Structure 1
Amino acid sequence: MKINLSIKKKLLIHSFLIQTIILLIFSFSLYKALEISTTDKLEATLKVIILDVTDDLLENKQISQTLLNEEKEYKFEPLYIRILDNKTHEKIIQTENFPNNIEHDDKYLNNLKEDIVTFEKQNNYLVSRIKIDFHGEKVVIIEVVTTKEILTSTLENLLYILSFILPIILIFAVIGGNFIIYKSFLPIENILDELKQINANDLSARLKTTNTKDEIYQLINEVNNLLSRLENSFERISQFSSDASHELKTPLTIIKGEIEVALRKERSVNEYKETLTTSLNEICVIEQTINDLLFLAKNEKDLIIDKQEEFYLDELTDESINELKNFAKLHKVGVTLEVKDSLELLGFPNLLKIAIKNALKNAIQFSNENSKVIIKIFKKDDFLNISIQDFGIGIAKEEQNKIFEKFYRTDKSRNKNSGGTGLGMSILKKIIDIHKAEINIKSIENQGTTISFSFHIK
């Protein structure tokens, strides 16, 4: 059965296991290091003693029992000494208490090299041997033996200490690990508590930032950025719903009224055609309004589907004029393009064409009949400018700052009759902002309006 544990408990368990493994490895390493160190110390002591015995033996002309007093001389206990004949491996002399269970391998003894001290472990004993030439008379093997009680006692003491200390260390490690995990997760728990207070009805709340500049600070910033993006998205959706319901209500009411009137009694074909024409015009308004609202509801990333490219602003403007020729003829307005500087611009030509057409369409709509719209493209300082000038009704000074608001109309009846949705300038503003350009409006009532865009160029 799968057990679901919190991350804190998992970290605590993993921390405990890792620390246990580390302590076991450390204890084993310490044990082996102490064993090797104690063994080396024993071997060094035995080497000194066996060499001293060798010197004493070579100072005498015969091998006697008096040579075996090193135990008393060094005060090292227990110490056992024995001298063997190299050929027969028989005992020549030995201390009285020399252990009977010290065995020797004839092959091992035959392979000993003269004047080289060797060591061998047997049972609980450490045996050192050296082969020497005794005054040319014979070759003898000297054995100096001691027990490994010192080593065993030292290692047993170490095991006792470790068995007592390790559980204490692990207990403190668990307590300390739990404290560290608690302190580390406390900011995250605070973030979770704050997030629980945020709901879709109010996304304006933000997490409290810290001054630590650590990963928690980065997490809080990213969550706050996410909340900002969500808030903007919700606001766009809410605004879209509000705008759509507000703007679509009027044309739908007109369509409904036209149909209801037409159905009250029998009508002529021409009357039905008029009703259908009126309804169709209102449906076109609805369609255009929906398209414009969808455009404005999109964020910058959704609008920019292509990479930036270089294009000539005058060519793009000329294309826009050609596409609105019939519209200009309908309003009896001429359009003139004056290009002073033909330069390449880096941007999004498809979007910018929409902005230019919206500005040009507004200029044509609000121009007086038999007047003209003048478009100029010129370079000034580090900016490439395009200005669109009309000679029409103009915009009141107090209204000039409002024309980029959604559904704002300076002349509602005229704009409505000409098929506008009141969203064209909002779309224009959004596209110009994407290009990091500037918008400037100069207008005098009953004289005309000039709108210009300034694009920074290198």
Structure 2
Amino acid sequence: MKFKNRIALFNTIATAVITALVFIVIYAVVNKTAYSHLDDDILLEKEEVFKYIKGFKDEIIIHNFPEWDEVEHKEVNVNPTFLQIVDAQGTVVFHSENLLNDQFLFSPNNQQEKFYDSELTGQKIRLGQFPIKNEKGKIIGQLTIAVSQKELFVILNNLLVVLLISFPIMLIVQYVASSFAASKAIRPVHQLIKTASGISGSNMNTRLTLPTRRDELYELANTINELVIRIEKSMKQQKQFTGDASHEIRTPLAAIRGTLEVLIRKQREPEFYEDKIRDIINQVDRLDTLLDQLLHLARIESGVIFANKESILLLPFLTELTKKWIPVADLKNIKIHVETPIEATIFADKMCLELILDNLVTNAIKYGNFNGHVFLIWNAALKTLSVKDDGIGISDEHLPNIFDNFYRTDESRSSSIQGNGLGLSIVKKLAELQHIKIDVKSQLEKGSIFTLQFTT
């Protein structure tokens, strides 16, 4: 079933339930009002009759009055009113002429007025029974007054027929109207579907037209547009990542190929071969580092890596890592300073944190000046660990992009400083994985400060 038909069906079902309840209430109110009207007529007749009935001891005295001679008490066919009076023994002492030889059933022990339904010669009637009392309040007989329900029955029957016929007709009209209204209402959805189905990888710049009214369809279209923007950005990043990765892999491979081609052109001295082989080994190491970092990125983005946080004593942890950094730092005579109190404790994943600090400190050494310094400073009040260097620094224009994949602040890919621009991207993703906030401040020729803020 189509969406518009489902809407129409649900609306029709709801309308059917509500309409049925309304019709039932209408019928019940009309029925009660009609019977109440009949009962009021009976009570009025009772007041008139009791003016000419007196109870004396055990006798019922009936005075002659014009009411007895009215047509309604003589005729059976035209709005008749039937009267019957019985004494305490159940003997009929009076009945109206239109009652003929019939007799009403009555309750001899009735203590108060009551109303009930019955039939007389096939005609539905409404009856009221009223006790007749003497001067001492003793019940000495019963007055029964009956009126025809013919008109009432016709009215209620006609009302019931009208309601039963109009109910399905109204539901059919409701379904058709709801289906038409739903069709009009979801027309913008069809337009959204048509536009959205035309969006593909080749035209990701297409956007859905936003409705003029800020309703749910507006929110839907706006959400889809935002989704398309994110997908477009992701695809651009993927294409850029693929291109950058290809370039980074192709560069060392080209260097290796070029070196090997030089070696096979003619016979060389052994020292020349050794020098070129070292170059090849350096390029292989570069490839190995690149592939290792690409693997780290793939594992992080695929959700394979999970943060296994634990309590870490910071000073022993940094002291152990420093042993790995010192040989690299010694090549540029850079001193590494750990300014961390012995009681400092953090809550983090040890392996991920080691990889983060390894990238940050290695970068600080790589871009540091000869005879420079690298500081690892713990701030207990802010719960931050800062990696500070006094190297070449980063310009303001580059700072917003340094955590992007393959982004390097040096303009040339053939820079004398080796790197592929993946280290800080890995740092950023591993920090986010552990809910560690990372911040960077830098000035050209003065150095950089990378700050890790840990949660409690």
Q: Which range, TM-score by smaller chain?
A: 0.7 to 0.9
Shift of 1:148: 0.6
State the partner residue of 1:41.
37
Cα distance change, pair 211–16 in 1 and its aligned pair in 2 (3 A): same
Deviation digits for residues 88-123 of structure 1 (CA, Å, limit 9, x no counterpart): x3432211111655552xxx633x324544434336
Q: Secondary structure at the match of 2:97?
A: coil
Q: Aligned match of 2:28 in 25, 32, 55?
A: 32
Q: Is the contact made by 1:128 and 1:145 (CA closer than 8 Å) also made in structure 2? A: yes
Shift of 1:78: 1.2
Cα distance change, pair 128–384 in 1 and its aligned pair in 2 (3 A): closer
Stretch deviating more after TM superposition (317-326 or 240-249): 317-326
Q: Is the contact made by 2:364 and 2:374 (CA closer than 8 Å) also made in structure 1? A: no
Cα distance change, pair 314–21 in 1 and its aligned pair in 2 (3 A): same
Q: Secondary structure at the match of 1:201?
A: coil
State the partner residue of 1:219.
220
Shift of 1:212: 4.7
Q: Aligned match of 1:453 in 445, 450, 453?
A: 450
State the partner residue of 2:355.
354
Cα distance change, pair 138–347 in 1 and its aligned pair in 2 (3 A): closer
- Mapped to 1, the partners of 2:115 and 2:425 lie a distance apart of 99
Cα distance change, pair 53–376 in 1 and its aligned pair in 2 (3 A): same
Deviation digits for residues 69-103 of structure 1 (CA, Å, limit 9, x no counterpart): 2573999931011222432x343221111165555
5+ residue gaps, structure 2: none
Q: CA RMSD in A?
A: 4.8
Shift of 1:6: 0.5
Cα distance change, pair 314–408 in 1 and its aligned pair in 2 (3 A): same
Stretch deviating more after TM superposition (360-369 or 144-153): 360-369
Q: Is the contact made by 1:80 and 1:95 (CA closer than 8 Å) also made in structure 2? A: yes
- Mapped to 1, the partners of 2:15 and 2:367 lie a distance apart of 81
State the partner residue of 2:124.
124
Q: Is the contact made by 1:435 and 1:455 (CA closer than 8 Å) also made in structure 2? A: yes
Deviation digits for residues 351-400 of structure 1 (CA, Å, limit 9, x no counterpart): 5543432232234345566x343315276997957353356xx4797997
Cα distance change, pair 362–22 in 1 and its aligned pair in 2 (3 A): closer
- Mapped to 2, the partners of 1:139 and 1:95 lie a distance apart of 20
Deviation digits for residues 11-45 of structure 1 (CA, Å, limit 9, x no counterpart): 21232233234323322331122112211221232
Map residues 277-356 of structure 1 onto 2, 5 A cutoff.
282-293=283-294, 295=296, 302=303, 305-306=306-307, 317-329=318-330, 331=331, 333-337=333-337, 339=339, 351=352, 353-356=354-357
State the partner residue of 1:250.
251
- Mapped to 2, the partners of 1:324 and 1:356 lie a distance apart of 10
Percent identity over the alignment is: 21
- Mapped to 1, the partners of 2:100 and 2:246 lie a distance apart of 110
State the partner residue of 1:84.
86
Q: Is the contact made by 2:86 and 2:93 (CA closer than 8 Å) also made in structure 1? A: yes
The count of corresponding residues between Structure 1 and Structure 2 is: 437
Cα distance change, pair 22–378 in 1 and its aligned pair in 2 (3 A): closer
State the partner residue of 2:154.
153
- Mapped to 2, the partners of 1:204 and 1:315 lie a distance apart of 53
- Mapped to 1, the partners of 2:393 and 2:47 lie a distance apart of 118
Q: Is the contact made by 2:55 and 2:132 (CA closer than 8 Å) also made in structure 1? A: no
Task: Tell me whether 1:423 sits opposite 2:419 in the alignment.
Answer: no
Q: Is the contact made by 1:240 and 1:293 (CA closer than 8 Å) also made in structure 2? A: no
Partner amino acid for 2:417? N
State the partner residue of 1:373.
373
- Mapped to 1, the partners of 2:153 and 2:284 lie a distance apart of 101
Q: Secondary structure at the match of 1:66?
A: coil
5+ residue gaps, structure 1: none
- Mapped to 2, the partners of 1:21 and 1:138 lie a distance apart of 51
Deviation digits for residues 273-319 of structure 1 (CA, Å, limit 9, x no counterpart): 99998766544433321333455578889598438888777666545
- Mapped to 1, the partners of 2:117 and 2:275 lie a distance apart of 121
Q: Is the contact made by 2:84 and 2:104 (CA closer than 8 Å) also made in structure 1? A: no
Shift of 1:9: 0.7
Deviation digits for residues 200-235 of structure 1 (CA, Å, limit 9, x no counterpart): 233344434457554334433433343333233323
Cα distance change, pair 66–358 in 1 and its aligned pair in 2 (3 A): same
Q: Is the contact made by 1:432 and 1:439 (CA closer than 8 Å) also made in structure 2? A: no
State the partner residue of 1:23.
19
Q: Is the contact made by 2:127 and 2:147 (CA closer than 8 Å) also made in structure 1? A: yes
State the partner residue of 1:113.
110
Tell me the TM-score normalized by structure 1: 0.74
Cα distance change, pair 22–296 in 1 and its aligned pair in 2 (3 A): same
Shift of 1:58: 0.6
Stretch deviating more after TM superposition (184-193 or 304-313): 304-313
Deviation digits for residues 179-212 of structure 1 (CA, Å, limit 9, x no counterpart): 4423432343332233123212333444344575
Partner amino acid for 1:23? T
State the partner residue of 1:188.
189
Cα distance change, pair 116–364 in 1 and its aligned pair in 2 (3 A): closer
- Mapped to 2, the partners of 1:246 and 1:316 lie a distance apart of 37
Map residues 250-269 of structure 1 onto 2, 5 A cutoff.
250-254=251-255
Q: Is the contact made by 1:440 and 1:453 (CA closer than 8 Å) also made in structure 2? A: yes
State the partner residue of 2:67.
69
Map residues 383-398 of structure 1 onto 2, 5 A cutoff.
386-390=386-390, 394=392
Q: Secondary structure at the match of 1:440?
A: strand
State the partner residue of 1:52.
48
- Mapped to 2, the partners of 1:69 and 1:192 lie a distance apart of 82
Cα distance change, pair 85–374 in 1 and its aligned pair in 2 (3 A): closer
Q: Is the contact made by 2:389 and 2:448 (CA closer than 8 Å) also made in structure 1? A: yes
Tell me the TM-score normalized by structure 2: 0.74
Partner amino acid for 1:247? E
Deviation digits for residues 234-275 of structure 1 (CA, Å, limit 9, x no counterpart): 2332222212222112333455667789999999x9999999
Q: Is the contact made by 2:361 and 2:374 (CA closer than 8 Å) also made in structure 1? A: no
- Mapped to 1, the partners of 2:274 and 2:100 lie a distance apart of 131
